[in-house]
Structure 1
């Protein structure tokens, strides 16, 4: 299967029908373009994306983001810690598999998602993976939240300069590999949950390049974008972190923990209500961040939300912590609030809380 690097996904009638319905029935779908997704999250782990490797090699034993790599530090300075904790959320809810002409030049690594613009910085010192051109490799893509879809892998043209802004003209037009609904293994919602597939790396490549992955969901328009910095020098997946920690000594595993999210109605009126959600660290160790998600009843929509960042896809809602209220000590709590327009409050929604 081949696919041109363009705004058209091509060749899948059932998805075209879905897009047509979305085009003619916009009033039925409410989408907020912010980081995260109620239905899917993920990022390349082999070769690791910028967001994944910066998170992995910046996470301290206390769960704080403390980069020793200068590129990751620059991304932290530009966008704060939240993009690191949400390394699996570089997405566009309205992507529909689009690439060239949709994601602007210079913003390929963030997918045009303004939360992750720190990872668009043109630098030569991002963590990178050593690979062998033309070799057979097992690729892996984290499934923090799972959903079916296609994975398209592109590579930069010869002469790519990492010190210059990455543009679509820097990319080969055809993917060198496509994974069609690959198998899922491990526990979803952890670093162990992942899609894997085997294929050949592009041949005839030497030196520094970017492998650009596009994850296009087959059940919605949501699309993920990522940059994996690599060097074709005969390597077999080893990672170099310039100026940073020694990848030969794996960093401390991220803190594990548990959390709960409880909902209450603060006030209500004809055609809407205000709600507050309390997130509590119910584990015995500090947690670096949290994510709450739930399903809005039919006929309701979120008009505003504070003390968190959120996405609404259909009736599915996901809220990530803000930069300042993600880290919670054992037993500590924080709150976020939101205003709903639509039918009466009714029963409290069933909320799920996840530590990350």
Structure 2
């Protein structure tokens, strides 16, 4: 099974290089602003599933393939463009039932299809996750979040009566400036007691105009931690195999602003190993991988940290030295950058601080420069 976080993206959280190339070769202008990256929206994950090296979009996921057959490739080149300029914050009844995921537009009508094989994010009910929402164009406003009610049938067209609100975030922080592959992010506590398939629906209401944006993310509450299936040949119903962590718990409120926390992203390309034997002290070891994706002046890497000792580790730090002028394109995901290049240091985040005997975790990053021909020597230490 392939999962999105094992391929190169976000963030998406975010097929960053390939996305740039595809936007440049898209057959029409992208008029768009943003949709959810984590958990990924239908248009975003279908884009990730379908993008090819030549810039064409040819999905392997059957739902995505049918959507392209119905509506063409342009809606996926404009994956961040599900919007209405006349919405003004209106919800129930403004967009007709059965057209909610496509924003009531003809362009995105294919993404309203009621089926169970859309790309899917695996989650745990009641857990706290960090949500990423593309800021392709930045606007002030509020993100209103809904989830389908218990007993909802995913084989019936989504109706407003199927949705219940559970969270909102007003003017959350951004991982970087607009116009690229950055995103808004905020901590969200998922509703408790949910099981099975659901749709997580977000309406982004601008406070400076009547324009609103709409996003449907297919999720399944099965004890997962952000794994994505149904992308790149993986099975939509497969079991989760990789975590995309949340952030420290926060309490829901009707409308809130949230504080910044380290950005994270996920990626859509397989990785290749390029590491010497792991090194470390006190039972903590680290292993380097360079992912199978690179673009002009960029590459992506992943480091796995393992507790090879008998005591439980309570915190870890991985260090290495770049010798070719490499840097970071944004913050690492699943780790905190505590030492800048060339003398790099990455420390655990809260969720992966504790590693029992034999346990391991990984962090990844988008990097600037050329990937080292020989993996750097890593040292791993724990307090």
TM-score, normalised with respect to structure 1: 0.58
Cα contact 1:59–1:254 (8 A) shared by 2: no
The residue aligned with 1:79 is: 71
Note if 1:184 corresponds to 2:177: no
What residue number does 1:8 align with? none
User: CA shift at 1:113, angstroms?
Assistant: 1.4
Query: Which residue in the other structure is 2:34 paired with?
Result: 42
Which TM-score applies when normalising by structure 2? Answer: 0.54
Please state if 1:139 is matched with 2:131.
yes
Distance 1:227 1:167, change over 3 A: same
Deviation of the 1:242 alpha carbon? 6.6
Query: How far apart, in 2, do the equivalents of 1:104 and 1:226 lie?
Result: 15
Report matched runs for 1:1-16 at 5 Å: none
Give the superposed CA RMSD: 2.4
- Looking at structure 2, the residues matched to 87 and 188 of structure 1 have their Cα atoms a distance apart, in angstroms, of 15
Look up the SS of the partner of 2:93 in the other structure: coil
In 2, the alpha carbon distance for the partners of 1:134 and 1:159 equals: 18
Separation (CA, whole Å) in 2 of partners of 1:91 and 1:255:
31
Matched, 1:88 2:62: no
**Alignment match of 1:60 (pick from 52, 58, 63):** 52
Residues in 2 aligned to 1:255 and 1:121: alpha-carbon distance in whole angstroms: 35
What SS is found at the alignment partner of 2:107? Answer: helix
Give the corresponding residue for 2:118.
126
| CA distance in structure 1 between the partners assigned to 2:51 and 2:134 by the alignment | 18
Q: Write out per-residue CA displacement over residues 187-210 of structure 1, whole angstroms, 9 at most, x where no aligned residue.
A: 42222x100001200111000000
For 2:187 and 2:88, locate their aligned partners in 1 and report how far apart those are by CA, in whole Å. 25
Distance 1:128 1:221, change over 3 A: same
- Taking the aligned partners of 2:295 and 2:84, their CA distance within structure 1 comes to 28
In structure 1, C-alpha distance between the alignment counterparts of 2:216 and 2:110, rounded to whole Å: 12
Change beyond 3 A, Cα 1:105–1:255: farther
Superposed CA offset, 1:165-221 (max 9, x none):
11112112xx21100110112242222x10000120011100000000000011000
Contact in 1 for aligned 2:46/2:64 (Cα 8 Å): yes
Structure 1 regions of 5+ residues with no counterpart? 1-34, 258-356
Note the C-alpha offset of 1:145. 1.1
Residue 108 (structure 1) aligned with residue 97 (structure 2):
no
CA 1:123 to 1:242, structure 2 compared with 1: closer, same or farther past 3 Å? Answer: farther
CA shift digits 1:303-340 (9 cap, x unpaired): xxxxxxxxxxxxxxxxxxxxxxxxxxxxxxxxxxxxxx
Change (3 A) 1:176 1:78: same
Aligned residue-pair number:
219
What residue number does 1:156 align with? 148
User: In structure 2, the residue corresponding to 1:52 is in which secondary structure?
Assistant: helix
State the partner residue of 2:198: 209
State the SS of the aligned residue for 1:122. Answer: coil
User: Aligned to 1:138, what secondary structure does the other structure show?
Assistant: strand
- C-alpha deviation, 1:46, in angstroms: 0.7
Alpha-carbon separation, structure 1, partners of 2:231 and 2:30: 29
- Structure 2 unaligned runs (5+)? 1-28, 236-240, 243-266, 270-291, 298-383
Looking at structure 1, the residues matched to 197 and 85 of structure 2 have their Cα atoms a distance apart, in angstroms, of 31
The residue matched to 1:195 in structure 2 has which SS? strand
Give a deviation string over 1:250-284, Cα, whole Å, max 9, x none: 23769789xxxxxxxxxxxxxxxxxxxxxxxxxxx
How far residue 161 of structure 1 moved from its aligned partner, in angstroms, is: 1.6
Write out the 4+ residue segments of structure 1 that deviate beyond 4 Å after TM superposition: 245-249, 252-257
Q: 2:219 aligns with which of 207, 230, 237?
A: 230
User: Residue 244 of structure 1: CA displacement?
Assistant: 2.3
Q: Matched residues in 2 for 1:120 and 1:254: separation?
A: 34
Distance 1:61 1:243, change over 3 A: closer
